[in-house]
Amino acid sequence: MSDYLMHQTMRWYGPHDKVSLSDIRQAGCEGVVTALHHIPVGDVWTVGEIEKRRKMIEQAGMTWTVIESLPVSDDIKKQRGDYKQHIENYKQSLRNVASCGLKVITYNFMPVLDWLRTDVNYEMTDGSRALYFNRLDFVIFDLMLLQRPGAEHDFAQAEIEQAKTKFASMSEEKKQSIFRNCLLGLPGSDDAFTPEQVLSALKSYEGIDKNQLKKHLFDFLHEVIPVAEECGLKMAIHPDDPPYAVMGLPRIMSTEQDAADLLAAVPSPANGLCFCTGSFGARADNDIPKMLHRFADHVHFLHLRNTKRDEEGNFFEADHLAGDTNMYEVIREVIQIQRRRRISIPMRPDHGHQMLDDLKKTTYPGYSAIGRLRGLAELRGVEYALNNALQ
């Protein structure tokens, strides 16, 4: 049996997270994935703050090798305002985290919102709850609740008519629920965006299309990847979630071609992917095992989750071994990658159903303890069986 198994981790939102380090350790994790959410985006992560967090994790019997995320400011994404200073600060943060022993930096280049769902309490047939994106509810949010200028041009007329019909019969409670869910704050924050903040942020991206945003990403990487190389760090970009345009914003990390463009633009062992099977898997045209095989040498971090989608553009978080992505083939490919590269790739069971006692608790959507523990156990079992069988 190979010694190269996935490095099992869970995401932790810091000292205020309802899921404690002890909970994560008892789930069987070797490591923790976290970030310094209290530091404003664009500021330098100091060695003192990094060390404080690292020691906290090590005292709980685990390691901190993956940062999720070291956020890229909207100024950098737009190349406006203080973006040059923010890039210099980012470089210094990379040097600081490397000096503290961290190895992988996860980030994304999604404008304004890191992720979007219309329902964070979608009830499954077994009574557990999941994250859900309902296309028609999103049309209602964008067109009738947020009232984004120009939104009517982004949807087919038939879709707009369906949304108007549904909206007319929708309760005020349901409308407010959709509104709140779509405006949830960034991961690690309890603060929701206000409509005014979102509309202002959207307006600030006017004139920046997909090609321009992609150029800004590549410009950013040309600046920071050499620093990452010097420090022995791996940069891992997270794909768009959902992996298509929302609220008129461009998306540039949604498809196999997007990933190929990224790696070709800045060729370096330090330039790579946080390969999220859930985000990529929400698109039917993404062949997940094939993409893993193609980008094998640049997969620096794994988010293993599963989504179930339909032809209308809806999707929900399925069980880790269910959904539209063949997790057996995914893990089989990961095992081959690890053996060939002689490494253990960090992995976390991304998202999980709210279930059992966690139904009575308030946690970050998708990040309750028991559902992720279940996912980790299932994924670990598949890897163990395949690793023994593939001699």
- In this predicted structure, what is the pLDDT of residue 191? 63
Residue whose C-alpha is closest to residue 60's, from 17, 104, 25, 101: 25
State the average pLDDT over residues 261-278. 98
* Residue where a domain stops, chosen among 178, 199, 220: 199
Q: Which two tokens stand for residue 142?
A: 């964008």
Q: Which two tokens stand for residue 203?
A: 């307006």
**Same domain, yes or no: 165 and 268:** no
* Exposure letters 260-296 (e unless 16+ CB within 10 A, then b): eebbebbebebbbbbbbbbbbbbbeebbbbebbeebb
**Same domain, yes or no: 126 and 82:** no
pLDDT 10s digits, 25-79: 999 999 999 999 999 999 999 999 999 999 999 999 999 999 999 999 999 999 9
Residue 8: beta bridge partners? 347
pLDDT of residue 216 exceeding 80: yes
Kindly report the average pLDDT of the chain as a whole number: 95
* Exposure letters 241-252 (e unless 16+ CB within 10 A, then b): bbbeebbbbbbb
Which residues carry out catalysis?
A: 238, 276, 303, 350-351, 367
Query: Does residue 219 belong to any structural domain of this protein?
Result: yes
Taking 3-state DSSP, the helix, strand and coil percentages for the chain, each rounded to the nearest 5, stand at: 45, 15, 40
* Residue where a domain stops, chosen among 199, 220, 253: 199
**Same domain, yes or no: 190 and 338:** no
**Same domain, yes or no: 96 and 130:** no
At residue 334, φ and ψ (nearest 5 deg) are -60, -40
pTM recorded for the entire structure: 0.95
Q: What is the DSSP string of 233-295?
A: -EEEEPPPSSSS-BTTB---SSSHHHHHHHHHHS--TTEEEEEEHHHHHTSTT--HHHHHHHT
State the average pLDDT over residues 268-297. 97
- Region of 39 please: left (phi>0), alpha (psi -120 to 50) or beta: beta
- In this predicted structure, what is the pLDDT of residue 190? 58
At residue 389, φ and ψ (nearest 5 deg) are -80, -30
pLDDT of residue 280 exceeding 90: yes
Query: Does residue 382 belong to any structural domain of this protein?
Result: yes
Helix 210-231 × helix 83-99 angle, to 10°: 30
**Same domain, yes or no: 64 and 108:** yes
* Residue where a domain stops, chosen among 199, 230, 253: 199
pLDDT 10s digits, 2-26: 689 999 999 999 999 999 999 999 9
Q: Which residues contact 201 (CB under 8 A, 6 or more apart)?
A: 74, 111, 112, 193
What percent of the chain stands above pLDDT 90? 91
CA distance 82 to 74: 10
pLDDT of residue 215 exceeding 80: yes
Q: Which two tokens stand for residue 204?
A: 């600030």
Query: Does residue 377 belong to any structural domain of this protein?
Result: yes
User: Three-class SS of residue 26?
Assistant: helix
pLDDT 10s digits, 324-371: 999 999 999 999 999 999 999 999 999 999 999 999 999 889 999 999
User: Using 50, 70 and 90 to split pLDDT, how confident is the model at 185?
Assistant: low
**Same domain, yes or no: 358 and 238:** yes
User: Three-class SS of residue 303?
Assistant: strand
Do 291 and 258 contact (CB within 8 A), yes or no? no
State the average pLDDT over residues 205-227. 97
- In this predicted structure, what is the pLDDT of residue 367? 95
- In this predicted structure, what is the pLDDT of residue 184? 81
pLDDT of residue 154 exceeding 60: yes
State the average pLDDT over residues 94-120. 95
Domain housing 172: 119-199
What percent of the chain stands above pLDDT 70? 97
pLDDT of residue 188 exceeding 50: no
CA distance 89 to 312: 43
